[in-house]
A and B are shown apart, each in its own frame.
Chain A
Amino acid sequence: MNEELDKFEQRLSRQPLRPIPPDWRTEILAAARASRPAPRAWLSALNPQLSTVFWPHPKAWAGLAAVWILIFALHFSMRDPSSRIAEKSAPLSPEVLVELKKQQRMFAELVGTYEPMAAARRKIFLPRPRSERVEIMVT
């Protein structure tokens, strides 16, 4: 039975198949050539290369990426919050303050609203002769 089946199979497999019409080659290849994609941007050209690289184990690559994201997330969440607050509320340095005041004053002078403060005026020291100073003290 099996031998007969083998003979039958052999008989069938010996039947030659219809050959492909030869003129199809030119037409089909021309159609394929016409549909070729235009030169692409480097990023999209890179995509097939990347898929070739990642193809064997896409899940492993995705897992690795997930682990890295987790590490970054943990890193940022575990940073000392007080240092961030300190960074935010740190006082300006004296040099910067002086520079700022200087700029403020210059701006006020330009605008014409600059008036030295009363306290500052009081502090202005006008040298006088010693005799006058005595008179004042007496009066």
Chain B
Amino acid sequence: MKMAAGLDISRLYDEHAQPLYAFLLNLTRDEADTRDLLQELFVKLARSPHLLAGIRAERAFLIRLAHNAAIDLMRRRGTRDKTKENFAAEMISPFAPTNDPDEKVFRENLAAALGELPEEQRAVVHLKLWEGLTFEELAAALEIPPNTAASRYRYGLDKLRERLRPLYEEMKRAES
């Protein structure tokens, strides 16, 4: 489906929808919200194809758009859904389901631990660990200084490590 002004929206979807979905799901922890945000993003691109004019790093640019949209949504929701305190436990996991019981427990705990991180740390940890972005790329995508990106990552990772330490140690022992 070739769009106006040469924008191939199908190609964009095929190349970027999966990582954007995972990122948005990790931020919102709600599949319906993730779908809405993803659709909003592609509709925006179709409506304004010139947004991508001159953009070299498409992925980073799309991550920035997705992140801004997710932040807006969470701010709107912030005042409304204060009751969702048990965020991590209630929400959908960003990880693929598995039949391995150990992996299942680890993923559930990891999803819960990620859910407890502040949004800005969660975004950085997600993009570093699962998108493999460098701190410079991360900084460009999230519009923050690289040092801030690095410190947020370190803080986030430390918290995950603390939270998952018992389980991780147990799994290491079992593996060895």
Contact = CB atoms under 8 A, between A and B. Distances in A.
7 contacts: A8-B161, A12-B160, A17-B18, A18-B21, A18-B96, A36-B46, A55-B53
Interface of B: 1, 3-5, 9-10, 13, 17-18, 21-22, 25, 35, 38-39, 42-43, 45-47, 49-50, 53-54, 92-97, 106-107, 110, 129-130, 132, 157, 160-161, 168
A11 interface: yes
A54 B1 CA distance: 29
A33 B46 contact: yes
Given A28-B35, A48-B50, 18 more contacts: A13-B129, A13-B132, A18-B21, A18-B92, A20-B22, A24-B17, A24-B35, A25-B13, A28-B42, A29-B10, A29-B42, A32-B43, A33-B3, A33-B9, A36-B47, A39-B4, A47-B50, A48-B49
A52 B50 contact: yes
B22 A29 contact: no
Contacts of B9: 29, 32-33
